[in-house]
Amino acid sequence: MKARINSVLGISMKTIARILFGLIAVLTFALGARANVSLPDVISEGMVLQQGQAIPIWGKADPGEVVTVHFAGQSKKTIAAMDGTWRVKLDPMRANATPATMIISGKNTIELKNILIGEVWLVSGQSNMERLLSETANGEAAIAAANHPLIRLFNVSRQVAFKRAPPPLATWQPCSPQTIKQFSAAGYYFGVELERELRVPIGLINSSYGGSQAEAWTPVEYLLASEDLRPTVERKKIWDEERPRVRADYDEALKKWRADSDKAKAAGARPSPSPAVPDALREYRIASSIYDGMIAPIIPFFIRGAIWYQGESNEARAQQYGVLLPTMIRAWRERWGEGNFPFGIVQLPNYRDPKPEPSDEAWSHLREAQRRTALHTPNTGLIVTIDIGEAHDIHPKNKLDVGKRMALWALVDVYGRKMTKSGPIFRNAKIAASKIILTFDEVGQGLRIRDGDELDEFAIAGADHKWRWASAKIVAKDRIEVWSDVVSQPLAVRYAFNNNPKHPNLTNETRLPAAPFRTDDWPGPSDGKR
């Protein structure tokens, strides 16, 4: 058969093989000649690079292609790996507000203009970090005054992250009344404070998604490695099986709601709220989904640190959150490869109707999980907001004070300013006969009562685990005695532990509120929920 083919074609099989090989080589060369060096979206014109650190610049090219990066008098050269990836590191540079140009060259040349060097921060979380200036107190005035050309904004698109829109993920924009409209209000106020205090360019990367849960921001490998967190991944299998039925039920409910709404409007009545979207239809609640789409694409862009405002959607699993949040922080730090970069946690604010008696609710336990994460995770801080929430709005409109408190933490813990960074933080407790002695950190010039003559919001309990309001007295610069005439043998104390404490008035000279806390480890309402 082989001889017959040879005789028909008049050429040998070896000759055919040489021809095919030559064609493949020509095609490969032609395709390679047309390939371009490319960069991730976060490395683009107008960006801010972190001062004082070796800065990674990376992208893709042809395997074996020589890529050179020129910037600020530096020239770094590398060769693309077999998978086409390449990376160089620029030497550390001082802050510089004079725009500079970066040139990346290989088979093509990319020119990036208007680059500054300063401080770069990631702000992330769910809807309270996502909240726009126009949706907050005095937002329109803040927008009109938002002329800060040395603050650069990179607002990661939710649509691009889930491939509902074409790239880019975002573009760097100078802060102006036009560009700030779609940016995080808390993040903006944070950046303004940093620029005012540090007097260097500020780069803000906002990667936030309303309604998201922390497991969606965590790489799946880290979730699977934990027995406590594995159910967050396994839930996807259930949702995949249920999705067709859930979709049909939801579409039917939506159809009925629209018909009922039309009737209500015609009758001059107010339509009922639309049916809630089931979790099985919320792709942003799938484990690792937001990490993959909105965090991984910006790694390893060098950041000074991150601020995290999230937790509302994890309320029902507050105990699990005590494992989940530190796992997410560890995952981000390991994936970035920068070590334990600073991480600030905005503690959930007061919310819902105040209750007359001490209560034990998941929202408060979520706050406690945030406090303990900040306490036990290296280089991690707590930003307390227990006094600036709203009883009937899960999205408090005061984001100015949130941003200022975020900045105060960063200025002290990250930049070494000699100030008291927060209200008092509980350190430890000691039982002394019928009293419990509490000791605090971050007392500044000493513990104080913010309003009134007596400390409020302290509760005490004995062996029956029944909480009763307690008396409390400042007995030293950093100590408080707590007692109750009806609890002769106290075991534990809680402070401002209701969802919405009426009058949390423990403070220091900053007049910032002490963080809510508990001294016990007794079971809570969310224990065991995964």
Say how many Å lie between the first and final Cα of the chain, rounded. Answer: 67
Res 177 pLDDT > 50: yes
CA distance 496 to 368: 11
CA distance 342 to 339: 9
Res 3 pLDDT > 70: no
pLDDT band at 7 (very low <50, low <70, confident <90, very high): very low
pLDDT band at 242 (very low <50, low <70, confident <90, very high): confident
Number of neighbouring beta carbons within 10 Å of residue 146? 20
Q: How far is CA 370 from the centre of its chain?
A: 13
Q: What is the pLDDT of residue 505?
A: 98
Number of neighbouring beta carbons within 10 Å of residue 58? 18
Q: What is the mean pLDDT of the segment spanning 87-113? A: 98
In the chain, the largest separation of any two C-alpha atoms, in whole Å, equals 111
Q: What is the pLDDT of residue 271?
A: 86
Could you tell me the residue range of the domain that residue 251 belongs to?
226-287
Q: Which residues pair with 358 in a beta bridge?
A: none
Q: What is the pLDDT of residue 31?
A: 42
Give the torsion sign (CA, 493, 497, 501, 507): positive
CA distance 361 to 467: 13
DSSP 274: P
**Identity at 153, one-letter amino acid code:** L
Count the alpha carbons within 13 Å of 388 in the hemisphere toward its beta carbon: 22
Q: Is residue 176 part of a domain?
A: no
Crossing angle of the two packed helices 318-336 and 362-376, in degrees rounded to 10: 30
Q: Is residue 444 part of a domain?
A: yes
**Residue 283 near residue 289, CB atoms below 8 Å:** yes
Q: Is residue 529 part of a domain?
A: no
Q: Tokens in use for 6?
A: 């040879």
Report the share of the chain in percent with pLDDT over 90.
82
Q: Is residue 354 part of a domain?
A: no
**Identity at 351, one-letter amino acid code:** Y
Q: What is the mean pLDDT of the segment spanning 371-392? A: 98
Q: Is residue 361 part of a domain?
A: no
Residues with Cβ within 8 Å of 342's Cβ and at least 6 positions away in sequence, in order, are: 304, 305, 306, 379, 380, 381, 410, 413, 414
Count of the separate structural domains present in the chain: 3
Give the torsion sign (CA, 68, 69, 70, 73): negative
Interval 475-490: pLDDT, tens: 999 999 999 999 999 9
Res 19 pLDDT > 70: no
DSSP 314: G
Domain boundary among 244, 265, 287: 287
Q: Is residue 462 part of a domain?
A: yes
466-472, long-range: CB < 8 A, 24+ apart: 467/357, 467/358, 467/360, 467/494, 468/358, 469/357, 469/358
**374 φ/ψ angles, rounded to the nearest 5 degrees:** -65, -35
DSSP secondary structure string, 281-312?
G-GGGSTTHHIIIIIGGGTTS--SEEEEE--G
Element (H, E) at 452: none
pTM, two decimals, is 0.90
Q: What is the pLDDT of residue 479?
A: 99
Whether omega for the bond prior to residue 300 falls within 30 degrees of 0, making it cis, is yes
Interval 104-115: pLDDT, tens: 999 999 999 999
CA distance 425 to 14: 80
Q: What is the mean pLDDT of the segment spanning 176-198? A: 98
Q: Is residue 171 part of a domain?
A: no
Crossing angle of the two packed helices 2-9 and 13-34, in degrees rounded to 10: 70
Residues with Cβ within 8 Å of 524's Cβ and at least 6 positions away in sequence, in order, are: 318, 319, 360, 362, 365
Q: Is residue 269 part of a domain?
A: yes
Q: What is the mean pLDDT of the segment spanning 169-195? A: 98
Interval 52-70: pLDDT, tens: 999 999 999 999 999 999 9
